[in-house]
Amino acid sequence: MRPDYIRIVEVGPRDGLQNEAQPLSPQERVELIQQLAAAGLKDIEAGSFVSPRWVPQMAGSDEVLESLSGRVDLRLPVLVPNKTGYENARAAGAREIAIFGAASETFSQRNINCSIDESLSRFAEVCALAKDDGVVIRGYISCVLGCPYEGKVEIAQVVSLAAKLIAMGCSEISLGDTIGVGTPDKARALAKACASETGIDSLSVHFHDTYGQALANILACIEIGVTTVDTAVGGLGGCPYASGSAGNVATEDVVYMMEGLGIDCATDLDQLVTITDSLSRRLGHPPASRVARAQLAKRH
C-alpha cells in the first residue's frame, strides 16, 4: 500500500555540490538552502565537516551552519567522518549529523581510507558523543546494490551494517545505490531485508540515476512502506570513484512522480524548477532533471 505522504531529504547542497567542478561559496550555499526551504523542503543536508583538502567544495560548512542557526524549523544534517569532524560540527551549531560507511571493503578503503570494521569503530565514538549531546544521527551506507570495484554486494552485508548503525544510535539509515546499478526488484528486496532488522520507518532510500532506474526503484520501495527518499535538486551529484556514475535522482523528478501518484511531499514543483534553472547556470551545465528540462523548455 502506497503512503499518503513522502518525506524528502534534500542532499543537493552537500552530496550534490561536493561533486561539482565549480564550487559555490558558503554564502551561495546558504542562499540555496534558503531557497529550497522556501519551496517547502524541511530536511536539507547542509554541508560536510571532512577536510577541505579532500573535499574543497565543502569548505566553509561551519559558516553555512552558523548562518542558518536561526532556522529551527529546518533539519540540517551535516556529514562528519570522525571525532574531530564531530567536534567542529558541534562548534558550528550542528543539531543533526550523518555518518557514512560502505557495504564494500574496497569502496570503504578508497572512499574513507579504512576497512568497514575500522569505520564502525570511528562511528561508535562519534555516536556516543552525539547521543550524550542529544544530537540526531543519520547513517549512510554506500554501494548497497553494487560496487565499482567488487561488483555484486550481498544483501546480508548491508543488513548487518544497518543493524549495527541502528544499535549505535542512528535514528535513520539511508541506503545508497552509489553507482546507480540497482533495479526495482533488487531495491525492493534490499529494503525489505533491512526493514526486518531496523523497521521500515527507519529507512530512507538514496538512488543515483546512472542507468535510469532511480524513479522505478523509489516506487518499488515506497510500495512496501518506505516513506523517506533522498533527492538532489537538479539531479546534482555523482561518484568520483565510479566512472560514468550519474547524479542523485532529481528532486523535481521525484516530486512530479509523487504528484502524479497523488502522494503529498509538501514541495512546490515550480519553485524547484526555478531553483534548478538558476543553479545550473551558476554551475555551467544543463540540469540532469528531465522534469526541469521539460518545464524550462516550456517557459522559454
Lowest-pLDDT choice from 63-77, 175-189, 230-244, 245-259: 230-244
pLDDT digits (tens, 9 = 90+) for 279-292: 999 999 999 999 99
DSSP codes, 74-123? SB--EE--SHHHHHHHHHTT-SEEEEEEESSHHHHHHHHSS-HHHHHHHH
Residue 107 confidence class, pLDDT cut points 50, 70, 90: confident
d(CA 19, CA 247): 9
**Where are the domains positioned within the chain?**
7-299
pLDDT digits (tens, 9 = 90+) for 211-267: 999 999 999 999 999 999 999 999 998 766 566 667 899 999 999 999 999 999 999
For the structural domain made of 7-299, what CATH number should be given?
Answer: 3.20.20.70
Lowest-pLDDT choice from 139-143, 149-153, 197-201, 268-272: 149-153
Residue 48's DSSP bridge partners are 79
Residue 138's DSSP bridge partners are 98, 172
Q: What is the pLDDT of residue 239?
A: 67
User: Choosing from 143, 147, 239, 265, which is the catalytic residue?
Assistant: 239
**CB burial readout 32-58, b (16+ within 10 A) else e:** bbebbbebebbbbbbbbbbeeeebebb
Q: Which of 37, 53, 47, 50 is nearest to 13 (CA)?
A: 47
Q: What is the pLDDT of residue 242?
A: 60
Residue 142, judged by CB atoms within 10 A of its CB (0-12, 13-18, 19+), counts as buried
pLDDT at 113 over 90: no
Q: What is the pLDDT of residue 240?
A: 61
Q: What is the pLDDT of residue 241?
A: 58
Residues 6+ apart with CB under 8 A from 298: none
Residue 141's DSSP bridge partners are 101, 175
Half-sphere exposure (CA, 13 Å, Cβ side) for 6? 32
114 part of the active site = no
224: which 3 cell numbers? 512496501
Q: What is the pLDDT of residue 121?
A: 87
- Mean pLDDT over residues 76-102, rounded? 96
Q: What is the pLDDT of residue 58?
A: 96
pLDDT at 144 over 80: yes
Distance from the first to the final alpha carbon of the chain = 39
Q: How far is CA 172 from the centre of its chain?
A: 12
Neighbours of 1 (CB within 10 A): 7
Q: Work out the mean pLDDT of the chain and round it to a whole number.
A: 94
149: which 3 cell numbers? 570495484
Q: What is the pLDDT of residue 118?
A: 85
- Mean pLDDT over residues 120-129, rounded? 93
Q: State what percent of residues in the chain have pLDDT above 70.
A: 97
Strand, helix or coil for residue 37: helix
